[in-house]
Amino acid sequence: MTTARSIDYWGIVTRSGAIAWNHRFLWFFGFFASAGGGGDFGSWGERGFDEARDFLTSHIELLAVIIMGLVFLWLVLVVLSFISKGALLSCISRVDAGERVRFEEGWRAGTKAFWGMLGITVIAAVVFLVVTAVCGFAVVLPLMGGAAGIAIGIFIGAILAIPYILFLLLLTFTVVYAEREYVIRGGGVTDALSAGWELTRTYFRQSLLMWLVTVVSSMAFVISLLIVLVAIAMPFILIGIANPIAGLILGIPVGLVVLVLTISAYSTYEHSLWTLMYRDLTGLSEAVSVVATEPPAPETPADRWDMAEGRSDEEL
């Protein structure tokens, strides 16, 4: 694992694109494995706030049911996210190894890896929160000491900025490799995290370059998606000029379908980037290429007799 390796980044990009396009059933896993986004909330006026408060206080049971439903939906999405990520990593690795995969096999691999993937995420989240809290207190506490304290807090923040960014990159790469180690090679969570850290420590520069590849890919994806959505929206905008309701009824479902499909495809592609990177760093891709280039063993008369005998038994 400590041997230096030359990474073909463009080869990884093309292989990832081919996997995402040629195995479109993986988009299901890619959609649920992708990270969700947040939203912004507008400001309310005082009257609207009072009306909302009165409504909620007079419908407390309804509010409780809605909250329980949202929590249940969130839990379902979390479970699907971990299962889908495990399924995606397993299928991508098997496809790169030249194997044929099916949706059911991916789903079984994802359910099998669920608890391990959850464990890796929980451990990483604890490490992130502890380090972030320590850095935050180191910056915030001096700010309470007046003008001198503010200067000290800013100075400490400036000193900690680069190490904290480095910590985030190291943690991210470790988790990315640990997840693939756990799903593809098996073993325990601690073993996977140890292997992930070893890969990150040994190949940090290569991992940083792959991260830059994902950043550029994300920017290209967002720009392409905006162009596609604008092109698709134009006919519905023209319809909406004549009939706004018809434009919305026809345009919104089409836009949502395009958005879901493109996000799912890109998620599959991005997970493929890091999975193929992991396979190249650990030598799994080399092992596959060696096996693929070995000439098949010559067929002996005994082999032909066994095959003929097997067919006879099946016919009987």
pLDDT tens figures, 208-241: 999 999 999 989 988 988 998 888 888 888 888 8
Distance CA 284, CA 29 (A): 23
- What mean pLDDT comes out for the span 188-203? 93
- Complete DSSP assignment for 14-39: HHHHHHHHH-TTHHHHHHHHSPP---
CA-based nearest residue to 6, from 175, 205, 273, 170: 205
What are 151-181's pLDDT values in tens digits? 888 888 889 999 999 999 999 999 999 999 9
Q: Is 186 in a helix, a strand, or coil?
A: coil
Label residues 111-139 b or e (16+ Cβ within 10 Å = b): eebeebbbbbbeebeeeeeeeeeebeeeb
Distance CA 14, CA 286 (A): 17
Q: Which residue has the higher pLDDT, 153 or 291?
A: 153
- What mean pLDDT comes out for the span 179-208? 92
Confidence of residue 19 (pLDDT cuts 50, 70, 90): confident
pLDDT for residue 123 is more than 90: yes
Q: Which residue has the higher pLDDT, 55 or 65?
A: 65
| 8 A C-beta contact, residue 139 and residue 153 | yes
CA-based nearest residue to 171, from 118, 117, 114, 126: 126
3-state helix, strand, coil in the chain (%, to 5): 85, 0, 15
Local structure of residue 188 (DSSP, 8 states): -
- pLDDT score recorded for residue 294: 44
- For 216, counting Cβ atoms within 10 Å of its Cβ (0-12 exposed, 13-18 middle, 19+ buried), the class is exposed
Interacting residues of 6 by C-beta distance below 8 A, sequence separation 6+: none
- pLDDT score recorded for residue 42: 40
- Complete DSSP assignment for 65-114: HHHHHHHHHHHHHHHHHHHHHHHHHHHHHHHHTT----HHHHHHHHHHTH
CA-based nearest residue to 32, from 68, 1, 78, 67: 78
Return the structure tokens found at 6: 């030359």
Q: What is the SS3 assignment for 207-273?
A: HHHHHHHHHHHHHHHHHHHHHHHHHHHHHHHHHHHHCHHHHHHHHHHHHHHHHHHHHHHHHHHHHHH
Q: Which residue has the higher pLDDT, 312 or 174?
A: 174
- pLDDT score recorded for residue 211: 94
Domain ranges of the chain: 9-33+50-287
- What mean pLDDT comes out for the span 238-264? 85
Maximum average pLDDT range among 155-159, 165-169, 287-291, 309-313: 165-169
- pLDDT score recorded for residue 284: 78
Q: Which residue has the higher pLDDT, 4 or 295?
A: 4
pLDDT for residue 34 is more than 80: no
| 8 A C-beta contact, residue 152 and residue 139 | no
